[in-house]
Amino acid sequence: MTTMRAHPLSILHGAEPCASCGARSSGVCAAIEEKDLERLSALAVPILVAAGRTFITEGEPAEHFFTVTSGTTKLFKLLPDGRRQITGFASRGTFLGLAVSSSYAFNAEAVEHSQVCRFSRTRLRRLIEDFPAMERRLLDVASNELVAAQEQMLLLGRKTARERVASFLLARESGLAGWAPPQAKGCILLPMARTDIADYLGLTVETVSRTMTRLRSERLIEMRSPTEIVLRNRDGLEALAAGMA
């Protein structure tokens, strides 16, 4: 098996990321008041990540934290034989890089052209000591990750294929699990490939496609394109996701 290495990233030199960042209100950086943004900006390194590029590699030293400021990324783990399990998707405002050890426990790869802010772990910890509100936000992040992990265990362990796909679409529509909420209620974008969705749900690509087609024939969803779906019957999807349909 070929060892996975991080691809080169494009650093945005001279950028002033924090004051105009669209992700600030939804990320951990919201804990920093306007008057202190200069200190935060001094630590932030804005980086462009091309689609398909890796910016966190499992097993490498966890020297940085990251905040996704635009685009969508996928988080996954690899088995020694190359098999992959996607554990989540992250979009604007998601904070990545929390680790209980000295190395990263997952890989992060851009699904589409994305932008992240990179923070030195050592320097950011010093900033957190001065801003207790930011530490509380990080605790919230850790708690949310635990809840998401429990939901994923339930999804993979007990739910049927239809229930998994319905749960996935509802989570995307509501902005849960690290996804930014859609601009129009009921309309969701799926920038990731069907293979990514299948890996996340523990299904085959064929099963995901068949299930989507069946949901469409039952008028639960409308597929405007492979990447744009409208939820036509949210109540019906919720009942299906809960195993009541």
pLDDT tens-digit readout, 166-206: 999 998 887 654 455 455 678 888 999 999 999 999 999 99
171 and 128 assigned to the same domain: no
Q: Which residues of 141-164 are buried (b: 16+ CB within 10 A; e: fewer)?
A: beeebeebeeebeebeeebebbbb
Q: Are residues 178 and 106 in the same domain?
A: no
Q: Which of 2-16, 71-85, 201-215 has the lowest mean pLDDT?
A: 2-16
Q: Which percentage of the chain shows pLDDT scores above 70?
A: 87
Residues 14 and 116 occupy one common structural domain: yes
In a domain, residue 233? The reply is yes
Same domain flag for 19 and 133? yes
Q: Are residues 121 and 235 in the same domain?
A: no
Location of structure tokens 């939804």: 26
Q: Is residue 151 part of a domain?
A: no
Query: What are phi and psi for residue 100, nearest 5 degrees?
Result: -90, -5
Domain-embedded: residue 192: yes
Q: Are 103 and 71 in contact (CB under 8 A)?
A: no
Domain total of the chain: 2
CATH of the domain at 176: 1.10.10.10
Verify that 141 and 184 share a domain, yes or no. Answer: no
By residue range, what is the domain housing residue 217? 159-241
Round to whole Å and give the CA distance between 185 and 182: 6
User: Given 80, 114, 145, which residue is the final one in a domain?
Assistant: 145
Is the domain of 164 the same as that of 211? yes
3: in domain: no
Residue 7 DSSP one-character state = P
Mean pLDDT of the chain: 84
Q: Is residue 2 part of a domain?
A: no
Same domain flag for 121 and 164: no
pLDDT band with cut points at 50, 70 and 90 for residue 143: confident
Separation between Cα atoms, residue 242 and residue 164, nearest integer Å: 10
Q: Are residues 34 and 96 in the same domain?
A: yes
CATH number of the domain that 43 lies in?
2.60.120.10
The 10 Å CB-count burial string (b at 16+, else e) for 61-81 is ebebbbbbbbbbbbbbebeee
Same domain, 197 and 82: no
Residue 4 in domain:
no
User: Which pLDDT does position 10 carry in this prediction?
Assistant: 65
Is residue 218 located within the same domain as residue 100?
no
Q: Assess if residue 36 is contained within a domain.
A: yes
Co-location of 113 and 30 in the same domain: yes
Tell me if 222 sits within 8 A of 233, measured CB to CB: no
Domain end (from 83, 115, 145): 145
Residue 205: CB partners within 8 Å, gap ≥ 6?
194, 195, 198
Contact call for residues 56 and 97 (beta carbons, < 8 A): yes
CB-CB contact of 173 with 188 (8 Å): yes
Higher pLDDT, 90 or 1: 90
Mean pLDDT for the stretch of residues 201-216: 96
Q: Which tens digit of pLDDT belongs to each residue from 80-95?
A: 898 899 999 998 888 8
Q: Is residue 5 a part of any domain in this protein?
A: no
Q: The tokens of 223 are what?
A: 């597929």
Dist. CA 243–CA 165, nearest whole Å: 12
